[in-house]
Amino acid sequence: MVNILCIGDVVGTVGCQFLREKLPGLKRLKGLDLVICNGENSADGNGVTRSSIQHLFDSGVDVITTGNHSFRRRESYDLYEEVPTLLRPANLPPAAPGKGMCVVDMGRVQVAVINLIGTLYLESQRCPFETLESLLKAPDFPRLCVVDFHAEATGEKRAMGFFADGKVTALFGTHTHVQTADECILPHSTGYITDAGMTGPIHSVLGVKPEISIQKFVTKMPTRFELAKGPCRMDCALFSADEKTGLCLEAERLSIV
Ligand code: FE2
């Protein structure tokens, strides 16, 4: 059995610190073999920095995925070339720095991790369905494969789940920062959740102070976002897979406070 934890968008320094507090204990408790987390908001004010990704790796994360904020900071461009386990969506233009897939060699088994971005209500990109299909065609593709589909629309995510069913071990959604209660094993044995949720302040609007978010909606004026304070939680999904078949045997939704 291979236990793979998929953590929802980590927001800012508060989210990174909370993850560091909670992940090591969860790793021991659940016997985690591989940890994937979406880190595109791990730097304060979105994007990634050298120190934000280092914090996540030092806390026990193996692979960091991103999404629409991958290249929010100019300083991060080189990081995507330098760090093979820091991914940007695979369906971005080929000229974008970095890669959308990596293979983690765990000794007894290899696991491919693929990052994709949706096309609804986000900047238009290459078709994520076609991109996934072509990546999976590679010779000697690992039996185990986990996909982070960073997308806004639940319909697009669920369609992608069924598209990937039987072809990958698990597919989890990110980006909305709100955990969905639809974790399951799809008919052809792929583990699935529409959105893993968020790692950050509970009383917030996607991590931001509610009063600032309200002000933006009411005034329609540009607003400087500020992270909320107070208690945090770490939303994630745990997929347990058969290493011989690559199929998912259990899907568990977790929200650690
Ligand atoms: Fe996002």
How many CA atoms does the CB half-sphere of 149 hold within 13 Å?
A: 32
Instruction: In whole angstroms, give the CA distance from residue 217 to residue 203.
Output: 18
150 CA to centre of ligand 1 in angstroms: 6
**Domains with residue ranges and CATH for the chain:** 2-256 (3.60.21.10)
Residue 135: strand, helix, or coil = helix
40 CA to centre of ligand 1 in angstroms: 7
Q: Which residues contact 241 (CB under 8 A, 6 or more apart)?
A: 1, 2, 4, 144, 169, 170, 191, 247, 248, 249
176 CA to centre of ligand 1 in angstroms: 7
Which pLDDT score is estimated for 45?
83
Told to judge if 69 belongs to the known catalytic residues of this protein, a careful annotator would answer yes
Q: Give the chain's residues under pLDDT 50.
A: none
117 CA to centre of ligand 1 in angstroms: 9
Which pLDDT score is estimated for 219?
96
Degrees, nearest 5: CA angle 3-29-36: 40
140 CA to centre of ligand 1 in angstroms: 31
Instruction: In whole angstroms, give the CA distance from residue 192 to residue 257.
Output: 22
| Residue ranges with CB less than 5 Å from ion ligand 1 | 67-68, 175
pTM beyond 0.85: the answer is yes
Residue 74: CB atoms within 10 A of its CB come to: 8
175 CA to centre of ligand 1 in angstroms: 4
122 CA to centre of ligand 1 in angstroms: 9
Q: Catalytic residue, from 55, 69, 150, 175: name it.
A: 69
